[in-house]
């Protein structure tokens, strides 16, 4: 058996290297004796097939038989290693070889057979540790270390051949560590008296933690309980009432059947023919570039009769099963409910897509699947079961325990790396506006609503300070929506701050079609317009336009080519890359530290060509760019005496794009921070390129310390320093 086949068929090694841990205290009694698994008679067979060809079961979810793993069971090799260890009984300082494996495949086979400790070892490996072909035959070594203070851990390493040197030795690559300890104090999560979810029967979450597949009813039971109790959450109910969209009910839905025991038979329904507006779920997923079954003008009539279930990608089939498990009949899936070869239908439905999610009962999210071929349940290409033992504390001989302290927290993050679904720009508003989100992935099951977030490890839930849903819907929309009349300054500042956070997250994500740059966040913009009565201009707020104009990107990129006019150069919407706000001009900082605004917006509008423009009155200085790429800007009239730093919006400008005849560069001073702010007293403004017909385009942003001995602008700004400039 090759390493590639093992990696493809074993479900507990998720794609993208994610590892997840659930450490909550078990509701069942500890096993008094460590069970031993005999691998000699283990007869395992593997098969490999394309993810898209994973067997499509059309049986209703009710026939699925729950299958739970057994905790604390050890293979004979692990049991012997732990029992015969010279260090474990006393935890005296020292180092010893605990055990070794001929290859990573051997670790996988033992884990698949049910060894809890081998599963923990396997859980330390990431995709980067196993992606190279030459590592297939590397040995795996586990060593035990005990410190002087009695701290102990098992270190997992790969012994890789020294290819470059050509010698017969081995190069050790550390993979991870799992801690060894006696007491459970501080190592298990416990529900609190005010926990958002209360379980009268702990087996609901205990069995979900040990379920071999997220498709089993044991996982569905936990999901149903979260959904049921969320209806009683005050914040969730209030946010849904205050910020519910006035429109946005989907034109089409997928009917998944409703009768008990009925096989899954999917069909497309036109909602206006239903007479009522039934509740529905939504799916949030990564397309991943795969060619999948889609709704087209030519197959719509066929879809209304029946959608061929076996031709759907695994993610869609899983979502249909989940819909039935949760007791619902309808689900909305973008590629099956929007006509993909109709520009008019796409334009109509995409404009309300955020509201479609906001109107849904719950969104099903395939969090770790990089494409629709990987499914919601994170089962391998051959339908393999997951192994949750990698995320559970394991009992060892001598009254010891082991645990790998890396798990998915309620902020739905692993380390600092975003999970696959959260790299997709459309998902930002899907996640924020959906009243509830149920996450499925390689790490297990999780939940997010306005009031809390929950995982298999913390099933009773807790407030997450990093939840954009809680921050936007709970903190901002509820407060603003319950206010009559104009927002108080602090409330307006809170809404604007929340928007800046959303924009930074959104612009850091990926779009397949850059033409969707504003469309994919339009429902969030509309929600803020409704709450504040502000006016959006190409993704920027007219009421705070001077401040908004000082945006910048983390690094310049090429300006994307679009099929239609997208945005003026002064808007972030036309630039690729994560967009940030200048913090030194942030409003609401108090204590006299607010900036002085030198510039003024005279007029905004759209010209005869459909281009957005802004007319500014600001202090202006003609500048030239120093010859080297990325060079400073110098005053054109003072022979390079006055120098300002700047950051270009695009790669072309940062590398010194040539000016056409009659064009020139100019710095527009918009803002000054107070001189008494140490190390933050700055002149801030835009860098523009002007042409011979009185128009200008933005090419970047400049800044200069007020303490600079070569200031571009004088201390006193005179009327003669001010100009009116039209930027398109």
d(CA 498, CA 503): 9
pTM of the model: 0.83
d(CA 366, CA 379): 12
CB 329 within 8 A of CB 323: yes
Evaluated on CA atoms 527, 532, 537, 539, the torsion sign reads: negative
Higher per-residue pLDDT: 337 or 34: 337
Task: Give alpha helix (H) positions in 487-590.
Answer: 489-507, 522-532, 545-548
- Count of CB atoms within 10 A of residue 628's CB? 8
Report residue 307 CA to chain centroid gap.
30
> What's the whole-number mean pLDDT along residues 464-490?
75
Instruction: Decide: helix, strand or coil at residue 403.
Output: strand
Half-sphere exposure of 500 (CA within 13 A, CB side): 19
**Count helices and strands in the chain by DSSP H and E runs:** 20, 29
Residue 540 belongs to what H/E stretch?
A: strand 540-541
Predicted confidence band of residue 37 (pLDDT cuts 50, 70, 90): low
d(CA 558, CA 131): 31
DSSP-derived pairing of the beta strands 643-648 and 633-635: antiparallel
Please say if the pLDDT value at position 555 is more than 80: yes
d(CA 448, CA 455): 9
Report residue 81 CA to chain centroid gap.
41
pLDDT of residue 391: 86
Of 45-49, 468-472, 534-538, which range is least confident?
Answer: 45-49
CA nearest to 603, candidates 727, 701, 496: 727
Please say if the pLDDT value at position 161 is more than 80: no
**Mean per-residue pLDDT of the chain:** 83
Instruction: Convert 592-618 to b/e letters by CB count within 10 Å (16 or more is b).
Output: eeebeebbebeebeeeeeeebbbebbb
CB 591 within 8 A of CB 704: no
pLDDT of residue 80: 97
Report the percentage of the chain scoring pLDDT > 90. 57
CA nearest to 316, candidates 298, 335, 291: 335
Q: What is the DSSP string of 579-640?
A: EE--GGG-TT--TT-PPEE--EEEEEEE-TTS-EEEEEEEEEEEEEE-SSTTPPEEETTTTT
Q: How far is CA 417 from CA 94, 297, 301, 640, in A?
A: 35, 40, 43, 44
Higher per-residue pLDDT: 14 or 449: 449
CA nearest to 448, candidates 438, 462, 433: 438
> What's the whole-number mean pLDDT along residues 27-46?
41
For residue 174, give the DSSP letter.
E
* 594 beta partners: none
Helices 522-532, 426-433: inter-axial angle, 10-degree rounding? 50
Half-sphere exposure of 455 (CA within 13 A, CB side): 24
* 552 beta partners: 580
Report residue 541 CA to chain centroid gap.
26
Q: Two tokens at 578? A: 């994560």
d(CA 455, CA 469): 16
d(CA 223, CA 281): 13
Please say if the pLDDT value at position 236 is more than 50: yes
Residue 448 belongs to what H/E stretch?
A: strand 444-449
Q: What is the DSSP string of 449-463?
A: ESS-EEESSSTT-B-
Residue 225 belongs to what H/E stretch?
A: helix 217-230
d(CA 201, CA 192): 16
d(CA 256, CA 326): 12
d(CA 264, CA 133): 41
* 597 beta partners: 671
Higher per-residue pLDDT: 279 or 627: 279
Please say if the pLDDT value at position 3 is more than 80: no
Predicted confidence band of residue 319 (pLDDT cuts 50, 70, 90): very high
pLDDT of residue 494: 85
pLDDT tens by residue, 714-728: 989 999 999 999 999
CB 268 within 8 A of CB 303: yes
Q: Which residue has the tokens 């140490």?
A: 678
pLDDT tens by residue, 115-130: 999 999 998 887 665 6
For residue 271, give the DSSP letter.
G
What are residue 454's phi and psi, to 5 degrees?
-145, 150
pLDDT of residue 87: 96
Instruction: Decide: helix, strand or coil at residue 552.
Output: strand
pLDDT tens by residue, 59-108: 333 334 448 999 999 999 999 999 999 999 999 999 999 999 998 889 98
Q: Which residue has the tokens 């203070």?
A: 149
> What's the whole-number mean pLDDT along residues 299-328?
96
Q: Two tokens at 34? A: 């460590």
pLDDT of residue 132: 58
Burial of 299 (0-12, 13-18, 19+ CB in 10 A): middle
pLDDT of residue 26: 36
Q: Which residue has the tokens 């007869």?
A: 43
pLDDT of residue 52: 33
Please say if the pLDDT value at position 274 is more than 90: yes
pLDDT of residue 507: 96
Higher per-residue pLDDT: 670 or 652: 670
pLDDT of residue 9: 29
pLDDT of residue 246: 63
pLDDT of residue 6: 28
Predicted confidence band of residue 628 (pLDDT cuts 50, 70, 90): low
pLDDT tens by residue, 247-273: 789 999 999 987 656 678 999 999 999
Report residue 270 CA to chain centroid gap.
32
What are residue 653's phi and psi, to 5 degrees?
-75, -35
CA nearest to 10, candidates 116, 134, 104, 77: 104
Please say if the pLDDT value at position 34 is more than 70: no
CA nearest to 236, candidates 526, 455, 473, 484: 473
Mean pLDDT: which of 133-147, 206-220, 399-413 is highest? Answer: 206-220
> What's the whole-number mean pLDDT along residues 627-636?
72
pLDDT tens by residue, 338-381: 999 999 999 999 989 999 999 999 999 999 899 999 999 987 65
pLDDT of residue 710: 80
CB 712 within 8 A of CB 642: yes
pLDDT of residue 166: 52
């Amino acid at each position: 058996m090759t390493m590639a086949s093992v990696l493809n068929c074993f479900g507990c090694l998720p794609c993208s290297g994610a590892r997840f841990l659930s450490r909550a205290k078990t509701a069942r009694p500890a096993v008094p004796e460590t069970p031993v698994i005999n691998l000699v008679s283990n007869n395992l067979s593997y098969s490999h097939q394309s993810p898209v060809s994973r067997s499509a079961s059309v049986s209703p979810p009710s026939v699925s038989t729950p299958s739970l793993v057994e905790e604390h069971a050890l293979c004979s090799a692990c049991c012997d290693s732990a029992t015969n260890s010279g260090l474990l009984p006393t935890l005296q300082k020292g180092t010893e070889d605990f055990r070794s494996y001929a290859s990573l495949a051997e670790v996988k086979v033992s884990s698949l057979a049910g060894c809890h400790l081998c599963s923990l070892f396997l859980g330390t490996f990431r995709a980067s540790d196993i992606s190279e072909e030459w590592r297939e035959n590397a040995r795996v070594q586990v060593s035990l270390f005990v410190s002087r203070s009695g701290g102990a851990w098992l270190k997992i390493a790969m012994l890789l051949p020294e290819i470059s040197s050509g010698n017969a030795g081995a190069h050790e690559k550390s993979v991870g560590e799992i801690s060894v300890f006696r007491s459970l104090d501080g190592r298990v999560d416990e529900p609190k008296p005010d926990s958002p979810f209360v379980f009268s029967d702990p087996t609901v979450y205990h069995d979900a933690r040990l379920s071999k597949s997220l498709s089993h009813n044991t996982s569905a039971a936990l999901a149903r309980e979260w959904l049921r109790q969320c209806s009683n959450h005050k914040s969730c109910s209030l946010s849904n009432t205050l910020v519910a969209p006035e429109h946005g009910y989907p034109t089409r839905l997928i009917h998944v059947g409703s009768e008990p025991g009925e096989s899954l038979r999917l069909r497309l329904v036109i909602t206006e023919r239903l007479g009522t507006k039934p509740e529905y779920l939504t799916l949030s997923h990564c397309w991943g570039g795969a060619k999948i079954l889609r709704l087209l003008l030519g197959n719509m009539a066929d879809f209304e009769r029946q959608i061929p279930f076996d031709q759907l990608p695994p993610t869609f089939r899983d979502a249909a099963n989940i819909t039935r498990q949760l007791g619902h009949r309808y689900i909305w899936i973008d590629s099956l409910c929007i006509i993909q070869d109709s520009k008019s239908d796409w334009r109509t439905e995409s404009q309300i897509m955020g509201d479609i999610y906001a109107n849904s009962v719950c969104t099903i999210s395939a969090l770790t699947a990089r494409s629709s071929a990987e499914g919601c349940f994170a089962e391998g290409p051959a339908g393999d079961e997951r192994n949750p033992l990698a995320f559970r504390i394991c009992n060892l001989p001598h009254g010891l325990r082991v645990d790998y302290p890396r798990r998915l927290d309620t902020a739905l993050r692993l380390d600092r790396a975003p999970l696959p679904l959260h790299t997709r720009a459309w998902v930002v508003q899907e996640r924020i506006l959906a009243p509830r989100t149920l996450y499925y992935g390689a790490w297990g099951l999780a939940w997010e609503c306005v009031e809390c977030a929950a995982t298999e490890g913390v099933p009773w839930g807790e407030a997450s300070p990093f939840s954009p849903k809680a921050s936007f819907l709970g903190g901002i929309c509820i407060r603003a929506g319950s206010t009559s009349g104009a927002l108080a300054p602090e409330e307006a500042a809170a809404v604007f701050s929340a928007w800046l956070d959303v924009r930074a997250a959104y612009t850091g994500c990926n779009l397949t079609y850059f033409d969707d740059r504003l469309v994919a966040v339009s429902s969030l913009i509309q929600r803020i317009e409704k709450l504040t009565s502000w006016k959006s201009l190409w993704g920027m707020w007219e009421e705070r336009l001077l401040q908004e104009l000082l945006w910048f990107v983390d690094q310049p990129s090429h300006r994307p080519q679009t099929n239609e006019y997208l945005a003026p150069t002064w808007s972030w919407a036309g630039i690729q890359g994560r967009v940030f706000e200048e913090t030194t001009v942030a409003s609401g900082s108090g204590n006299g530290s607010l900036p002085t605004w030198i510039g003024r917006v005279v007029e905004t509008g759209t010209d005869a060509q459909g281009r957005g423009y802004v007319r500014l009155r600001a202090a202006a200085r003609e500048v030239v760019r120093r010859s080297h790429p990325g060079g400073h800007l110098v005053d054109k009239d003072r022979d390079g005496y006055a120098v300002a730093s700047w950051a270009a919006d695009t790669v072309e400008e940062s590398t010194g794009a040539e000016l056409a005849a009659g064009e020139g560069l100019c710095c527009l001073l918009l803002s000054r921070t107070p001189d008494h702010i140490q190390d933050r007293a700055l002149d801030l403004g835009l860098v523009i390129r002007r042409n011979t017909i009185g128009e200008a385009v933005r090419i970047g942003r400049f800044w200069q310390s007020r303490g600079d001995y070569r200031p571009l602008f004088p201390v006193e700004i005179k009327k003669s320093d001010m100009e009116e400039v039209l930027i398109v």
